[in-house]
Structures are given as structure tokens and as C-alpha cells.
Amino acid sequence: MWRDVRDGARGILFIEGAFPLAAHWYGIARRSADEVGDQYLADIALAGSIYLPTCRSDLRAVLANVSSRLDASHAPSPAIAWLWGFRAKAHAVLGEAYAFQESIDRARQALDRSAPELVRPGIFSFVPEKLAFYEARGWIELNDDCCHESVRVRSSAGPVDLRIRWGLA
């Protein structure tokens, strides 16, 4: 049931002027995941809900929303990595390079320590390629060409056919 609620929230998010309704639906998705004891899905719903303050450029709200979860005890997962990624993006736009790098490092640790079966493509997932994009974008926001170049070199091992990588081809 909660997946239907979550999917409804995703659809509402992209209807102009429907942010309050999307926030309500994401709240229902999180509470539903909490009720069945699925913390991973609750974290995914939280990550999805972070798009709302992100779209409004309310970076302090992004930080407040993710910090409450990240400051609590949590197991490493792609969902937690995604929350660290949102935190990193907010710090980059605010010009906070040290906090940005720390958040990127924590996101990378969460992904590296995640159960391999959880690191997979999908609309509600967070994969290493997405983290590399968040990192490169952050360094651009911070106008740091040196660090941006190191991200480009690290992530340019060549084109990756994700269909093969994820066993879909």
C-alpha cells in the first residue's frame, strides 16, 4: 500500500503548485513505512520528500530535514547515501566547501558499506554514478576547478554500459 502512496506523491510533486499535497503524500509514505517497520523505505520516502525544499531553493530546510535522520543512528544504505548527497548539494550551493566534502565522503562510505543487492538503478535509488554527479556539480557550484578535475578523472574510466553492469543485457 505505501508504494501506491509514494508513487502518488511522486506524481503530485510534478504538478505545478501542488507542493503542499506532495509533502502530505510523502509524509503518509514515511509513516506507512514506519508502521510496518521498514526503515530503508522510510529513508527512501524522506529522500524523495527532500526534492520539495530543493525545488524551492530552501537550502536550510533541506539541511534541517536530512540532519534529523543523519544525526540519528543509521545503518549504511543507498537511501542514507542519498540523504548525505542532498546535504552535500545544499552545502555546495551555500558555499560551504568543507561541509560539502564531508557530506560527499559520508555518502561514499554509506554506499561502499551498503548491501550490494540494495545498490541498483531505479527512480528511488542512489548509485555511485549519481554520487559522482552530485560531487562534480558541487565542485562547480563552489567554483573549484582543481577538485572538479579530480572528480572528472576519477569517474572517466570510460563509458559504462549500465545494462551490462546491472545484469539487464
- Say if 94 falls within a structural domain: yes
- Say if 11 falls within a structural domain: yes
- Which percentage of the chain shows pLDDT scores above 70? 75
For the stretch 89-140, pLDDT in tens is 999 999 999 999 999 999 999 999 999 999 988 777 889 999 999 999 999 9
Please give the biggest Cα pair distance in the chain: 47
Task: Out of 12-26, 79-93, 120-134, 151-165, pick the least confident.
Answer: 151-165
- Say if 168 falls within a structural domain: no
- Say if 163 falls within a structural domain: no
For the stretch 81-103, pLDDT in tens is 999 999 999 999 999 999 999 99
- Say if 164 falls within a structural domain: no
Q: What is the CATH number of the domain that holds 116?
A: 1.25.40
Range of the domain at 87: 2-158
Record the cell numbers describing residue 68, joined without a space. 534529523
- Say if 136 falls within a structural domain: yes
Q: Helices 59-70 and 39-49 sit at what angle, rounded to 10 degrees?
A: 170
**Looking at residue 19, what is its pLDDT?**
75
**Looking at residue 11, what is its pLDDT?**
55
> pTM above 0.95?
no
Spatial neighbors of 45 by CB under 8 A, at least 6 apart, are 2, 6, 9, 26, 29, 30, 33
**How many domains, the chain?**
1
- Say if 166 falls within a structural domain: no
Mean pLDDT of 50-74: 92
**Looking at residue 146, what is its pLDDT?**
56
**Looking at residue 24, what is its pLDDT?**
83
Nearest CA to 69 out of 110, 21, 19, 10 is that of 110
Spatial neighbors of 166 by CB under 8 A, at least 6 apart, are 120, 121
The b-or-e profile of 54-76 (16+ CB within 10 A means b, else e) is beeeebeebbebbeebbeeeeeb
- Say if 119 falls within a structural domain: yes
Record the cell numbers describing residue 38, joined without a space. 521498514
**Looking at residue 31, what is its pLDDT?**
92
